[in-house]
Structure 1
Amino acid sequence: MMKLLKLVFRNLIGNGLKTWLNVFVLSIAFVLIIFMQALLQGWDRQAMADTVKWEIAGGQYWNAKYDPFDPFTLDSAVSELPKQFARQYETGQIEPVLIVSGTIYPSGRSMPVLMKGIRPGQKLLELPTTLLMNPTDSTDIPAIIGSNMAHQAGLTENDIVTLRWRDANGTFEAQDIRIAGVFKTFVPTVDAGQIWLPLDLLQKMTLNPDKATLLIKSKEVNEAPVAGWNFKDVKELTKTLRETLRSKAVGQSIFYVIFLLLALLAIFDTQTLSIFYRQREIGTFVALGMTKKEVVRLFTLEGTMNAILAIVLGAVYGIPLFIYFAVNGIPMPSGTSDFGVAISDKIYPAFPPKLIVGTILFIILVTAWVSYLPARKIVKMNPADAIRGKI
């Protein structure tokens, strides 16, 4: 086996620049596959973590009539806090959220919004709800909004804007609110088109005392069936996000597949030409006692060695790049969260061992297969004709 490997290595070196061009192109495909997959995995982890911290916590109980895609259900999708959660509510492990449709009028124009009531000072979510604590000497209705919402509405901190809503009796009401704070988040589902208000004030404004649309629970609270409420765990609540990321992964895979196909095509052509020009050498090998299967193995190993050299070369310049981006992240352009997917201002690629080992094995196996395809012709060669060069 060692003699066979030495012969393979000698033949590769003898090919000169052709070998190193194949190795370089294949190394680019190798590095690109790992980097793009690591970028998507890092994005997936960050998006999931941010969504859980800002919106989900340990899961949510939805009112049985609540449908986030049907705003007409909001009026009827309210219920009182279940008595079995009274203790968890007092300790802050259950946070009710009341959702009501409304309209704001910034700069004389109308803009539909979702009014969301949450307790000031809650600890389950990253929302800065301490800003909703209204001073005792103030009659303002405080509200907080996300930075994207503030940009769309043209609002800044301490701005006054008119808010209109319809209460439980169907009567339209309107009142000015004060923007107590603008928070920055990369989760658009708590930012776009939403205004966060103190829960008790929103309940009073809409004539829904002690009622909520959904309940957010901490991870310490065990899931339990509740009449009139449907529990949604983290996996179910992030299903849309995971599907979106999966669809983007399919789209991005096209680019590194193109690079890989170019590299494999170069190896295939190299092996085909090598077999054509080395007919006498092949015939000599067979005449000296090598079986045709051993000669096929020789040429297959030559092609596969391109992948091994490409992995080594890719590691030389790829590892420093991977370390740099894993530590410093990749800056994302501003406004990327407007696409409806949680995207941080920096994405830190994740390089789990499973990804690297899997990619290495994939490159080696595919290269070996591509190298074996032209080598199969050797089995059909006649050694005598090969030595005379008549094939």
Structure 2
Amino acid sequence: MLTFKLAYKNLLGAGLRTWLNVSVLSLAFVLIVFYNAMIDGWNRQSRNDTQNWEIAQGQYWHPQYDKYDIFSIQDAHKPLDESIQALVQDEELVPQLLQQAAIYPQGRMQNVLLRGIPNEQKLLKLPTIQLASSGDPNTAIIGKRMAKTARLSVGDRVLLRWRDKNGTFDAQSFIIADVFSCDVAEADQGQFYIDYRLMQKMMGLAGEASLLVSKTEASRPLPGWEFHSADHLLKDLDQLIHSERISGMIMQMILLMIALLAIFDTQVLSIFRRKKEIGTYMALGLTRKQVVGIFTVEGAMHSLLAAIFGAVYGIPLFMWINTIGINFGSADMGITIAERIYPYYSIQLLVVSVLVVCISSTIVSYIPARKIGRMKPTDLLKGK
């Protein structure tokens, strides 16, 4: 207890030097918390958006389907048996039929991935209800990225060309019923959505599908279909988030080292200038271990004061940012990222950040304080 009291009095007695160290360390603490909270917020929003717009709780794929191999789509389809059709009727599964196609906006050719999806589905946020709102069966919906690339808008007509199961090419004019705003690039760029039953008729693939979007997380076995969980489908996104987190950790370490260097210099200077004070402590009966503890605790208290001071201006700042979000403009980066990201501050993040700062400052304070144990009390009292 005596060690803490002496360390606290010495810390306050240092005046401006203490508060400069506390300010720098608190800034490092606030930036570390903010950056990690932004990454966590991006991760949560991206996962939620991808599940809401594209994958739900998982997908069943045709064995030949590979989302990274465009040539696998042509033959990746099969009929739905009665058990699967019952699940579709119960809205547990949403079937999709995929095929390559091409559109001709303003006479230009553009390859697209043609997606047939039931217009009555409610599992995904796609506004498929618009496919049946106009009364014209040849309607389509596209995302804002797709609309920008093809220079299409609501009400425009565009020629769609496809090849059916027999390899015969056919074409039909489609009207754009809706242009939706979506933060998931894979559900937007290059995607052309039409009604599921209409596409079956166009392709000559009655009752067939390429993949099934699942409403439930549990993977029930469906013969002839491969289940891919949401975690598996979000693996690329998780790797991207992980790489961003690692690159951020490098900058955080540099910032933290700058703050810790200030504490280290302060401790070295204190030991050099306070030799008589150290000798007096020893003459009064304090052991070398206790004196080392006083200087170590002084350094550790910098981190505690920095956490308190950082909370004073950090909490209002974080609350304000959480109300307005962080604007990334159009966020048209080809990855799943919202126009505004809202940081997520978890208890684990705060606890880990405080522990890292406190432990680091304690270690940095202890390193120069060890030299006290090798000093002679008589020389210290003389100021040597």
TM-score normalized by structure 1?
A: 0.94
Q: Separation in 2 of the partners of 1:301 and 1:94?
A: 61
The 5-angstrom pairing of residues 109-188 of structure 1 reads 109-133=108-132, 135-136=134-135, 138=136, 141-188=138-185
Q: Separation in 2 of the partners of 1:155 and 1:321?
A: 41
Q: Separation in 2 of the partners of 1:97 and 1:283?
A: 81
CA shift, 1:129, in A, is 0.3
Aligned 8 A contact 1:134 1:142 in 2: no
- State the partner residue of 1:323: 319
CA shift, 1:277, in A, is 1.4
- State the partner residue of 1:203: 200
CA shift, 1:352, in A, is 1.5
What does the per-residue CA deviation read over 1:36-81, in whole Å, with 9 as the maximum and x for residues that have no partner? 1111111111111111111112221000000011111111110011
1:368 corresponds, among 356, 362, 366, to 362
What does the per-residue CA deviation read over 1:293-344, in whole Å, with 9 as the maximum and x for residues that have no partner? 111100001111111111111011011112222233222211x1x3232222
Greater shift in the superposed pair: 182-191 or 11-20? 11-20
Aligned-residue sequence identity (percent) comes to 46
Give the superposed CA RMSD: 1.5
Greater shift in the superposed pair: 174-183 or 80-89? 80-89
Query: Gaps (5+ residues) in structure 2?
Result: none
- State the partner residue of 2:231: 235
**Partner SS for 2:329:** coil
**Partner SS for 1:170:** coil
- State the partner residue of 1:385: 379
Letter of the 2:200 partner, please give it: Q
Q: Separation in 2 of the partners of 1:144 and 1:275?
A: 72
Q: Separation in 1 of the partners of 2:146 and 2:134?
A: 25
- State the partner residue of 2:268: 272
**Partner SS for 2:216:** coil
Aligned 8 A contact 1:134 1:141 in 2: no
2:340 corresponds, among 340, 343, 346, to 346
Letter of the 1:165 partner, please give it: W
What is the aligned residue count? 384
**Partner SS for 1:333:** coil
Aligned 8 A contact 1:82 1:226 in 2: no
Query: Gaps (5+ residues) in structure 1?
Result: none
CA shift, 1:135, in A, is 5.0
CA shift, 1:274, in A, is 1.0
CA shift, 1:5, in A, is 2.3
1:311 aligns with 2:310: no
Q: Separation in 1 of the partners of 2:199 and 2:251?
A: 50
Aligned pair in 2 of structure 1 residues 293, 11: CA closer, same or farther (>3 Å)? same
**Partner SS for 1:339:** coil
TM-score normalized by structure 2?
A: 0.96
Aligned 8 A contact 2:21 2:302 in 1: yes
CA shift, 1:132, in A, is 0.7
